Amino acid sequence: MEETIKEIVDENQEYVINMGPQHPSTHGVLRLVVSLKGETVKNVEPHIGYVHRGIEKMCESITYPQIIHLTDRMDYLSAHINNEAVCLNVEKALEVDIPDRIKVIRTIMSELTRIQSHQLFWATFGMDLGGLTCFFYGLRDREKVLDIFEETCGSRMIVSYNCPGGLMYDIHPNFQKRVKDFINYFRKILPEYDQLLTGNVIFQERTRGIGRLSLEDAISYGVTGPAARASGFSCDVRKHEPYSAYDRVKFNEVLFNEGDTFHRYLARIEEMRESMNIIDQLIDNIPEGPFAVKMKPVIKLPEGEYYQRVETARGELGVYIISDGNKNPYRIKFRSPCFSNLSVLNLISKDFKIADLVAIGGSLDLVIPEIDR
Partner 1 sequence: MDKVHLGDIIKSLDSDIEIKEGKQFTEINIPASNLYTLAKQLRENHETSFDFLICITGVDYGQDLGVVYHLRSIRHNHTIVLKTRISDRENPQLDSVADIWRTAEFHEREIFDLLGIKFTNHPDLRRFFLKRSYGFPLRKDFVDDINIVTK
Q: Which of 343, 350, 353, 354 is the binder for partner 1 (CB under 8 A)?
A: 343
Site residue total, partner 1 (CB under 8 A): 31
Residues 123-152 that bind partner 1 (CB under 8 A): none
Binding mask 163-202 for partner 1 (x = CB under 8 A): ----------------------------------------
Q: Which of 19, 342, 359, 360 is the binder for partner 1 (CB under 8 A)?
A: 342
**Nearer to partner 1 (CB atom), residue 69 or residue 353:** 69
**Nearer to partner 1 (CB atom), residue 277 or residue 343:** 343
Distance between start and end Cα atoms, the chain: 51
Cβ 32 to partner 1 shortest distance, Å: 14
Cβ 320 to partner 1 shortest distance, Å: 6
Q: Does 56 bind partner 1 (CB under 8 A)?
A: yes
The Cα–Cα gap between 66 and 131 comes to: 41
The Cα–Cα gap between 51 and 150 comes to: 26
**Nearer to partner 1 (CB atom), residue 120 or residue 342:** 342
Q: In what helix (H) or strand (E) does residue 16 lie, and over which residues does it extend?
A: strand 14-19
Exposure letters 336-364 (e unless 16+ CB within 10 A, then b): bbbbbbbebbbebbeebbbebbbbbbbbb
Q: Does 63 bind partner 1 (CB under 8 A)?
A: no
Query: Which residues are CB-neighbours of 150 under 8 A, at least 6 positions away?
Result: 156
Cβ 297 to partner 1 shortest distance, Å: 19
Query: Which residues are CB-neighbours of 178 under 8 A, at least 6 positions away?
Result: 147, 148, 151
DSSP string, 148-197: HHHHHHSSSSS---EETTEESSPPPTTHHHHHHHHHHHHHHHHHHHIIII
Cβ 6 to partner 1 shortest distance, Å: 34
Residues 206-265 that bind partner 1 (CB under 8 A): 217, 219-222, 233, 240
From 301, 285, 332, 279, select the one nearest 82 (Cα to Cα). Answer: 332
DSSP string, 62-102: S-HHHHHHHHHTTSGGGHHHHHHHHHHHHHHHHTPPPPHHH
The Cα–Cα gap between 38 and 42 comes to: 10
Binding mask 299-338 for partner 1 (x = CB under 8 A): -----xxxx-x------x-x-x-x--------x-x-x---
Cβ 107 to partner 1 shortest distance, Å: 22
Residues that bind partner 1 (CB under 8 A): 48-49, 52, 54, 56-57, 61, 217, 219-222, 233, 240, 304-307, 309, 316, 318, 320, 322, 331, 333, 335, 339-340, 342-343, 372
